[in-house]
Amino acid sequence: MHAVGRELRVPGRRVLELGTGSGALAVHAARQGARVTAVDISHRAVLCARLNAALHRQRVTVRHGDLSSVARGRYDVVISNPPYVPAPAALPPRRGKARAWDGGLDGRVVVDRVCATAATVMGPGGMLLMVHSAMCGVDATLDALHGLGLDAQVIDRELVPFGPVMRSRLLWLRDQGLMDDEQQDKEELVVFRARRC
Ligand SMILES: C[S@@+](CC[C@H](N)C(=O)[O-])C[C@H]1O[C@@H](n2cnc3c(N)ncnc32)[C@H](O)[C@@H]1O
């Protein structure tokens, strides 16, 4: 939220949110004067985001669909908080609540797709702002973004207590070598900014 507010100082920018959920970030961006399109694969999320935009009297175009459904737009800024929690299943679920958080074995299935989608929809000078847990790989995201020809860096980090999903997976995460410390009860959230050079 802070990163979006800070980076969207110029009103009128075309913003795309990938995986909008409640629409909170999309509404926040619209409040900064951005022209916002938001996409989510969940019908409930789309309804919720539309309601939130209406309640806050902000104009946000909310579309139902997969990330790939926006592959042909042109945006100044792409924002995303994708599902990134490592999960015992290799692929994210096709339906149900866990689609909001499960990101495949290493947590990167949707993260990597967001990077690739952002690279195709960003116009010249465009920017991606994305957040995910350090657990699914900070260097992996920087490498992916650099590999797509983007200039990428970490702009924020914050330690937050594990939520219920992480807590319910502690043993599995430890077994996977994704956590070293048995007493760990926090994860680090990392915000990335990538620009088209
Ligand atoms: C972690 S939630 C983030 C919600 C919200 N943006 C936020 O920051 O609170 C991830 C969202 O991505 C959506 N999502 C998951 N896979 C998707 C996909 N393949 N295409 C579009 N949206 C997807 C989920 O339905 C969920 O609403």
What's the pLDDT tens digit per position in 151-170?
999 999 999 999 999 999 99
User: What was the pLDDT predicted at 117?
Assistant: 96
φ, ψ (nearest 5 deg) of residue 94: -85, -20
Per-residue pLDDT tens for 165-193?
999 999 899 999 888 776 788 999 999 99
Mean pLDDT, the chain, as a whole number?
A: 93
20: CA distance to ligand 1 center in Å? 6
d(CA 17, CA 4): 11
pTM of the predicted structure, to 2 decimals: 0.95
Kindly state if the Cβ of 23 falls inside 6 Å of ligand 1. Answer: no
Which three-class secondary structure state does DSSP give residue 190?
A: strand
**Regarding beta strands 75-80 and 122-133, do their DSSP bridges make them parallel or antiparallel, or are they unpaired?**
parallel
- The number of residues making up the chain comes to 197
Query: What integer is the mean pLDDT of 93-120?
Result: 96
pLDDT above 70 for 87: yes
Overall average pLDDT of the 12-22 stretch: 95
Q: Which atom of ligand 1 is nearest to 67's Cα? A: 20
User: Is 57 strand, coil or helix?
Assistant: coil
123 pLDDT tier (thresholds 50, 70, 90)? confident
- DSSP label of 134: G
What residue owns the CA closest to ligand 1's atom 13? 19
Does any ligand 1 atom lie closer than 6 A to the CB of residue 52?
A: no
Give the C-alpha distances (Å, rounded to integers) separating 133 from 101, 111, 120: 11, 10, 24
Q: What is the pLDDT of residue 183?
A: 72
Average pLDDT for residues 3-23, to the nearest whole number? 85
- pLDDT, tens digit, 9 for 90 and up, residues 64-84: 999 988 867 789 999 999 999
Q: Which atom of ligand 1 is nearest to the CA of 66?
A: 20
What H or E segment, with its residue span, contains residue 63? Answer: strand 60-64
With pLDDT > 70 as the criterion, what percentage of the chain qualifies? 96
- Residue tagged 């539309």 (tokens): 50
42 lines ligand 1 (CB under 6 A): yes
Give the Å distances, CA to CA, from 23 to 40, 51, 54, 59, 69. Answer: 9, 9, 11, 11, 18
Nearest atom within ligand 1 for CA of residue 26: 6
The answer to whether residue 10 scores a pLDDT higher than 70 is no
Q: Can you tell me whether residue 26 is helix, strand or coil? A: helix
Task: Check if 39 has its Cβ closer than 6 Å to any atom of ligand 1.
Answer: yes
| Coil/strand/helix, residue 92 | coil
d(CA 61, CA 173): 37
Level-2 CATH architecture, domain 2-160+190-196: 3-Layer(aba) Sandwich (3.40)
State both tokens at 123: 């116009």
Answer yes or no: is pLDDT of 148 > 90.
Answer: yes
